[in-house]
Amino acid sequence: MAWVLIVIAGLLETGFAVALKASEGFTRWVPSVLFLVFAAGSFTLLSTGLRSLPVGPAYAVWTGIGAVGTAVYGMAFLGESVQTLKLISIALVVAGVVGLQLSSTAH
């Protein structure tokens, strides 16, 4: 159950990063409020999950989902460039997160 919380927290991290961009420096009301809601939810779920999970792998999964999700969202919906190196880098982030996760469950 704790890992489910971390995954949801990571998705909310993607949401707060996208909302932060859309807030245009907190000058737009709705995206600014969404940022606060997503950030509060993300940190709450992360801290709850960390009660029973090792911090290294859990934090890596949280940030990995946020980073990959935000990069993919930017390419899919914000017109950011899709380049081979960017896609390889995303794959490396995913591989690193999976490696940390596997190494934490092995012990």
d(CA 89, CA 74): 15
pLDDT at site 28:
98
Buried b (16+ CB within 10 A) or exposed e, 24-59: eeeeeeebbebbeebbebbeebbeebbeebeeebbb
- Other CB atoms within a 10 A radius of the CB of residue 85 amount to 7
pLDDT of residue 106: 52
List CB contacts of 78: < 8 A, sequence separation 6 or more.
Answer: 21
Total of domains in the chain:
1
Q: For residue 52, give its domain range.
A: 2-105
Q: Identify the pLDDT of residue 68.
A: 96
What does the pLDDT profile of the chain (107 residues) look like in tens digits? Answer: 999 999 999 999 999 999 999 999 999 999 999 999 999 999 999 999 999 999 988 999 999 999 999 999 999 999 999 999 999 999 999 999 888 878 776 54
pLDDT at residue 105 in the model: 64
- The predicted pLDDT at position 10 comes to 97
Please state, in angstroms and rounded to a whole number, the distance separating the CA atoms of residues 77 and 73. Answer: 6
pLDDT at 44: 98
What are the angstrom distances between the C-alpha of 71 and each of 47, 52, 76? Answer: 24, 29, 9
- pLDDT at residue number 99: 86
